[in-house]
Structure 1
Amino acid sequence: MGEQQERRAGGGPTWWRQGPSWWHRRDDQERAPRLPWRSTVLLTVFVLAGSNIAAQGQLDDREHLDPFARVLLFVASGLLLWRKRYPVAVVFGTTLAATLYLGAGYPYGPVFLAVAVACFDAVVAGHRRAAWAAVGVFWAGHALVAHWLYEWLPPSGDAAASWTQEGVIAAWVAAILAVSELARTRHEQWARERAERARAARRRADEERLRIARELHDVLAHSISVINVQAGVGLALLDSDPEQARTALTTIKAKSKEALGEVRQVLDTLRTPGDAPRAPAPGLDRLPELVSQAAGAGLTVEVEGEPPRLAPATDLAAFRIVQEALTNVVRHSGSRHARVRLDHGDGATLRLRIDDDGPATGADAGGSGNGLAGMRERAAALGGTIEAGPRADGGFRVLAVLPLRAAVGASGDAPEEDR
């Protein structure tokens, strides 16, 4: 449809203006690279001046440099100005000019350098077949002139070239291709390394975003759930029991202040990623605080077992898992009783089990999904697992298994920051 509209507008198809795909660089969808003016000027001057010097030693064997020869030398080296944008066209144009130059019997010299540079850039740009074909045609054309067409081409009275000379030229061509292939391999390796570093940076950024999203979800979901329950209590008792309503409002104020402090701490890590947090991350030592907050929301929590000494990351993950599980009980379960059990008897793992007796108050029994996904991500980041689902006898269970070996060293000592 677009091509038909373009033809109606009088433009016709665009392929004839852009040329075939092999005409351009592989990355010609990106911004066109700058023209290498300086290097091209230096090469052109070197080729022209060097050919004049080389001609002085070949006065008896080759034709003198005339204006046509200088034009061919200028074209062969001047085309290199576009070698970054159109490497295939340049390598064929340069080799054609060089073939005409040598076929006309002009002196050997730096014209080979122009062919080498064009071939090098074409191979590095990824056009290996085009570069090999162009250089192969160049060598075949020289061999044809030097061994079969020399009788009809200048200089007059010229004899056939020796095969030794032809072998030297073939070795020169092979060396150009070998160096070009080596450079291409290194270029592709550097490109892969850059791409891998970019992917790693994106991956770290994604992981950091997920971590911050989990922190914000856990802080806000728990705090807002408690605030919501206390607000309901306050509204219900505002007229009949003002003192109890005052207590609910006091709880709302304290919980909102705490939530704001934790959110500020998370946001501070975004603003100053290189600085250490101003306050320590919460851990299982704050489990009594969670129990007290749950009691304020009307949920009685029994705790069995004592938490072991944990590294900050594991301690934070365990705290957030218990916090999220109790938040889900408050929000989604009709039970007003929950049990938290901590077990690390095997010395290798910490088992956190949070149970409630149900029943669920809606379709989102156990949570809406985001909280459970966050818990699983936290556990997986430490090499642990999370199992969550309804119990056979009713209610809901969250079972987290976190490895203790990720929290302590091989000698069994706690990390320095935990002491």
Structure 2
Amino acid sequence: MTEHTSRASGPGGPPWQRWLAAPPAVARLPWLSSAVVLLIQLVGSTFASENQERADHRVDLDVFGYALLTLGPALLVLRHRHPPLAAFGTAAVAAAYFAAGYPYGPIFLSVVVGAFGAVVAGHRHAAWGALGLFWGSLLLTGHWLYRWLPPDDDGPAPWGFGGAVAAWAVAVLAVSELLRARREQVAREQAEREAAERRRADEERLRIARELHDVLAHSISVINVQAGVGLALLDSDPDQARTALTTIKSASKEALGEVRQVLDTLRSPGGAAPRAPAPGLARLPELAAQAERAGLTVTTRTEGTPSPLPPGADLAAFRIVQEALTNTVRHSGSRTARVLLRYAADELELRIDDDGPATGEGTVGGNGLVGMRERAAAFGGTVTAGPREDGGFRVTARLPLRRGGNGETTERGNGETT
């Protein structure tokens, strides 16, 4: 209902103008509208012939006259593919009709439709030329050639008639230009809407890709480390190997749950709310525990008074920390990492440090860092990452806050207050 109302009340003028600017499919069939024009010309000209034959000294319609009345609408069938031909053809047919002395009547209609079609199709010069040809032929036959053309007792046409035809041609061109401009505007608006829809779809695909990357990269890194531990200790320390397998099971179960939640939103966009709340900074202790199972000791510290993040930014902050720790597990020889949450008056600073050195297993700076920067940028924040002078590596993210404040500093080791 909302969409229908916005379309009906949007820019574009009265309903008839919107209809002409974007007519329904059936109205765009050239043969159908041409048949309507043919019917109007035949019926209207027949009545005109009965009234004008004696009073206005016009020639009665014969086979040639009806052929001309039919030829104009027949040319209109070509106006979508060959607009100039239809415009000039209908103008020439109408000029021949009046030169033959047949009654004035609705044969003007085929000229109007032909010129209108040419202007709307972008061939305005052809429309102007066709109407100029038609008007010039009326002046020529009405003020000079009438002596040699039927009917025999015909006199010169009044000059007012030529002026009326000129005014009529100008009006046709003006309305045609108005509708052409309106149709181009409708086409632009439609293209902009389609482009916006494509952008929204691309952004949604990118969001889902980032979410899947973060979930899978972290979980698979934990699984990879624990699988190596389990294989190494399978014979010498079965209990420790069993612990590694338990960690693998737990990490894979959690990853499957988060992937299922992401896919549920993909299958039913705008549908029911997710069954589990999205991860946030409140789950940092769980994240630290997972990293510990992968062999990485994580210490978290909070400075300032924790303040709420805008909707979605809490998830972005969590994923940034998660990705930074995943990169430490995968690319750093350090088995410790430090996470700092610093709340200022208007922003949250996240700082993730490890002491290095890099292990050479891949390179830091691929999709993970790109994803972190995109997540932060979506909420007006920034992410910087690079090696420190002492050989370690640091990721720093800044996210705007709704409100903030300074307060006490607390420290946690693997999620526990010390």
TM-score tier, shorter chain, comes to 0.7 to 0.9
Deviation at 1:124, TM superposition (A): 1.5
Deviation at 1:220, TM superposition (A): 0.2
Q: 1:48 aligns with which of 15, 34, 42?
A: 42
1:248-283, Cα deviation, whole Å (9 max, x unpaired): 110000000000000000111111112211111100
Bigger mean CA deviation after superposition, 207-216 or 93-102: 93-102
- Once residues 105 and 96 of structure 2 are traced to their aligned partners in structure 1, the CA distance between those partners, rounded to angstroms, is 14
Partner of 1:3: none
Partner of 1:343: 342
- Once residues 280 and 238 of structure 2 are traced to their aligned partners in structure 1, the CA distance between those partners, rounded to angstroms, is 35
- Once residues 134 and 392 of structure 1 are traced to their aligned partners in structure 2, the CA distance between those partners, rounded to angstroms, is 79
TM-score by length of structure 2 reads 0.85
Deviation at 1:369, TM superposition (A): 0.8
- Once residues 210 and 150 of structure 1 are traced to their aligned partners in structure 2, the CA distance between those partners, rounded to angstroms, is 75
| Aligned ranges 1:3-22 → 2 under 5 Å | none
Q: 1:265 aligns with which of 261, 264, 282?
A: 261
1:82-137, Cα deviation, whole Å (9 max, x unpaired): 33333222222211111111122212110001111111122222222222221221
- Once residues 357 and 148 of structure 2 are traced to their aligned partners in structure 1, the CA distance between those partners, rounded to angstroms, is 103
Q: Any unmatched runs of 5+ in structure 1?
A: 1-32, 409-419
Whether 1:39 and 2:33 are equivalent positions in the alignment is yes
Q: 1:283 aligns with which of 280, 285, 289?
A: 280
Q: 1:391 aligns with which of 388, 392, 409?
A: 388
Whether 1:82 and 2:81 are equivalent positions in the alignment is no
Answer whether contact 2:339 2:352 (CA < 8 A) is retained: yes
1:327-365, Cα deviation, whole Å (9 max, x unpaired): 0000001111111111122x2111111111111111744
- Secondary structure at the counterpart of residue 166 of structure 2: helix
- Once residues 114 and 361 of structure 2 are traced to their aligned partners in structure 1, the CA distance between those partners, rounded to angstroms, is 69
Bigger mean CA deviation after superposition, 165-174 or 60-69: 60-69
Bigger mean CA deviation after superposition, 118-127 or 168-177: 118-127
- Secondary structure at the counterpart of residue 305 of structure 1: strand
Answer whether contact 1:51 1:111 (CA < 8 A) is retained: yes
Whether 1:101 and 2:108 are equivalent positions in the alignment is no
- Once residues 118 and 289 of structure 2 are traced to their aligned partners in structure 1, the CA distance between those partners, rounded to angstroms, is 72
| Aligned ranges 1:193-342 → 2 under 5 Å | 193-273=189-269, 274-305=271-302, 307-342=306-341
Deviation at 1:230, TM superposition (A): 0.6
- Poorly superposed stretches of 4+, deviation over 6 Å: none
- Secondary structure at the counterpart of residue 386 of structure 2: strand
- Once residues 280 and 298 of structure 2 are traced to their aligned partners in structure 1, the CA distance between those partners, rounded to angstroms, is 17
Deviation at 1:206, TM superposition (A): 0.3
Answer whether contact 2:309 2:400 (CA < 8 A) is retained: no
Provide the identity percentage.
Answer: 66
- Once residues 398 and 314 of structure 1 are traced to their aligned partners in structure 2, the CA distance between those partners, rounded to angstroms, is 17
Bigger mean CA deviation after superposition, 276-285 or 306-315: 306-315
Q: Any unmatched runs of 5+ in structure 2?
A: 1-26, 405-418
1:349-396, Cα deviation, whole Å (9 max, x unpaired): 11111111111111744x251011111111111111111111222211
The one-letter code matched in structure 2 to 1:339 is R
- Once residues 376 and 88 of structure 1 are traced to their aligned partners in structure 2, the CA distance between those partners, rounded to angstroms, is 55
Partner of 2:411: none
Partner of 1:352: 350
- Once residues 394 and 255 of structure 1 are traced to their aligned partners in structure 2, the CA distance between those partners, rounded to angstroms, is 30
Answer whether contact 2:330 2:361 (CA < 8 A) is retained: no
Q: Aligned residues, how many?
A: 373
Q: 1:120 aligns with which of 116, 120, 123?
A: 116
Partner of 1:25: none
Answer whether contact 2:57 2:153 (CA < 8 A) is retained: no
Answer whether contact 1:103 1:145 (CA < 8 A) is retained: yes
| Aligned ranges 1:134-173 → 2 under 5 Å | 134-173=130-169
Partner of 1:72: 68
- Secondary structure at the counterpart of residue 52 of structure 2: coil
- Secondary structure at the counterpart of residue 122 of structure 2: coil
- Once residues 263 and 318 of structure 1 are traced to their aligned partners in structure 2, the CA distance between those partners, rounded to angstroms, is 19
Greater relative contact order (Cα 8 A, min sep 6): structure 1 or 2?
2
1:62-100, Cα deviation, whole Å (9 max, x unpaired): 222121111001101232233333322222221111111
Bigger mean CA deviation after superposition, 96-105 or 355-364: 355-364
- Once residues 388 and 295 of structure 2 are traced to their aligned partners in structure 1, the CA distance between those partners, rounded to angstroms, is 22
The one-letter code matched in structure 1 to 2:357 is P
Deviation at 1:147, TM superposition (A): 2.1
- Once residues 392 and 315 of structure 1 are traced to their aligned partners in structure 2, the CA distance between those partners, rounded to angstroms, is 30
Bigger mean CA deviation after superposition, 354-363 or 228-237: 354-363
